[in-house]
A and B are shown apart, each in its own frame.
Chain A
Amino acid sequence: MYACSQAFHDAVANGNDQKSLMIFSDCVFTDEDINVDNGIEFHEYFNTEEDLAIGQALSSEISFSLFNDDRLLNDYGFGEFLATIGVLIRTGTYQQFGSVMIQSSYTGASYIGSNDMPFIRRNGTALNPQPSFPVKSILIYDRKVWCFSDDGRYAVYRDTDGTNITNQNGLNAFMRKKCQRWNGKGMCYNNDTRMLVIQEGGTRFEYEFVPLGWFEAERPKAPDVIQIDLTCYDQMQKFDQDMPSDDAIGLSWPSTIANLYVKLCNYAHVWYRTTSFINCDASIPERPEDFNTATMRDVLKWIAEAAGSNAMFDRDGYLTLRWLTITGDRYSASEYSEFNPYWYETKKVTKLYNRSTQDVTDQTYGSGDECYLIQDNPLLRGVS
Chain B
Amino acid sequence: MADITGASLAPIYNRLNTTPSYHPLEADTFADWSLEAGDVVTVTRDGRGYQSPVHSSILRWKKQPQMTISSTGNEARESVAKMSQKKFRNGSGGLRANNYQHIYVDDAYGRMRSGLELTGSSAALYVEDKYRQMKSGLDLTSSSAHLYVDDRYKQMRSGLSLTSSSAALYVEDRYRQMKSGLDLTSSSAALYVDNKYAQMRSGLNLTSSSAALYVDNRYAQMRSGLNLTSSSAALYVDNRYAQMRSGLDLTSSSAALYVDNRYAQMRSGLDLTSSSAALYARSADNAAEIVARINESTGESEIKLSSDRVYIGNSRSTTVINGKCELSDVTANYIGSKIASLATVNVQQLSSERGGVSVYSVGTTNFSQGGVSCYVPNAIWALQIVQDGNNYKLQRQRYNDDGWTDVGTFSRAVTSWTMGWSGGTFTAKANPQNQSCSTQIVQGTVSWDGNNATVPIDGIDSDNPGYQYFTGRNILVDASGRYSAGRLSGWEDCYDDIGLNYSSNQTIDPGGQITIYPAAKPTPSGQHASITTRGITVYASSASTPEDLSLWNGDTRVTESSPVDLGFGSSVVLTPYYKVDGEWVAGTPGKVTSPADPHPTRYSLKCTGASQAGGVVTYTFTTDGGSFSTGTSYYFYR
Q: Do A and B belong to a common assembly? A: yes
Residues of A within 8 A of B (CB): 1-4, 8-9, 12-13, 15, 17-18, 20, 31, 35-52, 54, 65, 69, 85, 87, 181, 210, 212, 225-227, 229, 231, 257, 278-279, 281-286, 288-289, 306-308, 310, 312, 314-315, 322-333, 335-342, 344-350, 352-355, 357, 360, 363, 365-366, 369-376, 378-384
Chain A positions within 8 Å of B32 at CB level: 8-9, 12-13, 87, 210
Is the Cβ of A325 less than 8 Å from the Cβ of B40? yes
Is the Cβ of B36 less than 8 Å from the Cβ of A54? no
Is the Cβ of B29 less than 8 Å from the Cβ of A331? yes
Which residues of B (294-331) have their CB < 8 Å from a CB of A? 296
Is the Cβ of A330 less than 8 Å from the Cβ of B44? yes
Chain B positions within 8 Å of A308 at CB level: 11-12, 15-16
List 20 A–B pairs whose Cβ atoms lie within 8 Å, in order of A's numbering.
A12-B65, A38-B224, A41-B59, A46-B54, A47-B53, A49-B113, A51-B73, A51-B77, A226-B247, A227-B268, A336-B28, A339-B45, A342-B75, A355-B80, A369-B76, A371-B79, A375-B89, A379-B4, A379-B7, A384-B9
The 4 A-B residue pairs whose C-beta atoms are closest, nearest first, are A346-B73, A382-B3, A282-B7, A46-B37
Is the Cβ of B6 less than 8 Å from the Cβ of A283? yes
Known A44-B56, A46-B36, A342-B24; 4 more pairs at CB < 8 Å: A42-B61, A227-B246, A335-B31, A380-B7
Query: Nearest Cβ distance between residue A89 and chain B, in whole angstroms?
Result: 12
Chain B positions within 8 Å of A286 at CB level: 1-2
Query: Nearest Cβ distance between residue B561 and chain A, in whole angstroms?
Result: 64
Is the Cβ of B7 less than 8 Å from the Cβ of A69? no
Chain A positions within 8 Å of B42 at CB level: 328-331
B223 within 8 A of A: yes
Known contacts A46-B37, A315-B36; decide if A330 and B56 are in contact (CB<8 Å): no
Chain B positions within 8 Å of A381 at CB level: 1, 3-4
B33 within 8 A of A: yes
Is the Cβ of B5 less than 8 Å from the Cβ of A283? yes
Among B12, B79, B223, the residue within 8 A (CB) of A369 is: B79
Query: Nearest Cβ distance between residue B303 and chain A, in whole angstroms?
Result: 14
Q: B35-47 toward A: CB 8 Å interface, digit per residue (1/0)?
A: 1111111111100
Among B11, B25, B57, the residue within 8 A (CB) of A342 is: B25
Known contacts A341-B25, A372-B16; decide if A41 and B58 are in contact (CB<8 Å): yes
Is the Cβ of A338 less than 8 Å from the Cβ of B41? no
Q: Which residue in chain A gives the minimum CB-CB distance to B24?
A: A342
Is the Cβ of A283 less than 8 Å from the Cβ of B53? no
Is the Cβ of B74 less than 8 Å from the Cβ of A349? no
Is the Cβ of A212 less than 8 Å from the Cβ of B5? no
Is the Cβ of A347 less than 8 Å from the Cβ of B76? yes
Known contacts A289-B1, A383-B4; decide if A40 and B38 are in contact (CB<8 Å): no
Known contacts A330-B44, A339-B27, A355-B85; decide if A1 and B223 are in contact (CB<8 Å): no
Query: Nearest Cβ distance between residue B57 and chain A, in whole angstroms?
Result: 5
Chain A positions within 8 Å of B20 at CB level: 348
The distance in angstroms between the C-alpha atoms of A50 and B72, with both chains bound, is 6
Chain A positions within 8 Å of B247 at CB level: 225-227
B8 within 8 A of A: yes
| CB within 8 Å: A-B pair count | 330
Is the Cβ of B77 less than 8 Å from the Cβ of A324? no
B111 within 8 A of A: yes
Is the Cβ of B35 less than 8 Å from the Cβ of A39? no
Residues of B within 8 A of A (CB): 1-13, 15-45, 49-50, 52-66, 71-80, 82, 85-86, 89, 109, 111, 113, 135, 180, 201-203, 223-225, 245-247, 268-269, 293, 296
Chain B positions within 8 Å of A52 at CB level: 16, 19, 53, 55, 72-73
Is the Cβ of B3 less than 8 Å from the Cβ of A340? no
Known contacts A210-B33, A341-B24, A373-B85; decide if A352 and B9 are in contact (CB<8 Å): yes
Query: Nearest Cβ distance between residue A233 and chain B, in whole angstroms?
Result: 12
Among B6, B55, B62, the residue within 8 A (CB) of A45 is: B55
The distance in angstroms between the C-alpha atoms of A85 and B62, with both chains bound, is 11
Known contacts A347-B76, A383-B4; decide if A46 and B43 are in contact (CB<8 Å): no
Is the Cβ of A330 less than 8 Å from the Cβ of B49? yes
Q: Which residue in chain A gives the minimum CB-CB distance to B46?
A: A333
Is the Cβ of B29 less than 8 Å from the Cβ of A335? yes
Chain B positions within 8 Å of A352 at CB level: 9, 12-13, 16
Among A65, A288, A346, the residue within 8 A (CB) of B1 is: A288
The distance in angstroms between the C-alpha atoms of A3 and B52, with both chains bound, is 20
Among A15, A307, A328, A348, the residue within 8 A (CB) of B64 is: A15
Among A42, A181, A372, the residue within 8 A (CB) of B33 is: A42
The distance in angstroms between the C-alpha atoms of A384 and B5, with both chains bound, is 10
Is the Cβ of A341 less than 8 Å from the Cβ of B85? no
Known contacts A336-B28, A381-B3; decide if A323 and B15 are in contact (CB<8 Å): yes
Q: Which residue in chain A gives the minimum CB-CB distance to B135?
A: A48
Query: Nearest Cβ distance between residue A186 and chain B, in whole angstroms?
Result: 21
Is the Cβ of A47 less than 8 Å from the Cβ of B55? yes
Query: Nearest Cβ distance between residue B82 and chain A, in whole angstroms?
Result: 7
Chain B positions within 8 Å of A340 at CB level: 25-27
Is the Cβ of B38 less than 8 Å from the Cβ of A325? yes
Chain A positions within 8 Å of B4 at CB level: 282-285, 379-383
Is the Cβ of B38 less than 8 Å from the Cβ of A212? no
The distance in angstroms between the C-alpha atoms of A373 and B16, with both chains bound, is 12
Among A3, A41, A331, the residue within 8 A (CB) of B44 is: A331
Query: Nearest Cβ distance between residue A339 and chain B, in whole angstroms?
Result: 4
Known contacts A42-B58, A341-B43; decide if A49 and B17 are in contact (CB<8 Å): no
Known contacts A85-B61, A340-B27, A382-B4; decide if A350 and B55 are in contact (CB<8 Å): no
Query: Nearest Cβ distance between residue A368 and chain B, in whole angstroms?
Result: 8
The distance in angstroms between the C-alpha atoms of A289 and B45, with both chains bound, is 51
Chain B positions within 8 Å of A43 at CB level: 56-59
Is the Cβ of A378 less than 8 Å from the Cβ of B41? no
Q: Which residue in chain A gives the minimum CB-CB distance to B49?
A: A330
Among A315, A323, A330, A371, the residue within 8 A (CB) of B41 is: A330
Query: Nearest Cβ distance between residue A7 and chain B, in whole angstroms?
Result: 12
Chain B positions within 8 Å of A312 at CB level: 37-38
Is the Cβ of B2 less than 8 Å from the Cβ of A349? no
Chain A positions within 8 Å of B246 at CB level: 35, 226-227
The distance in angstroms between the C-alpha atoms of A333 and B30, with both chains bound, is 10
Chain B positions within 8 Å of A331 at CB level: 27, 29-31, 41-44
Chain B positions within 8 Å of A345 at CB level: 21-23, 75
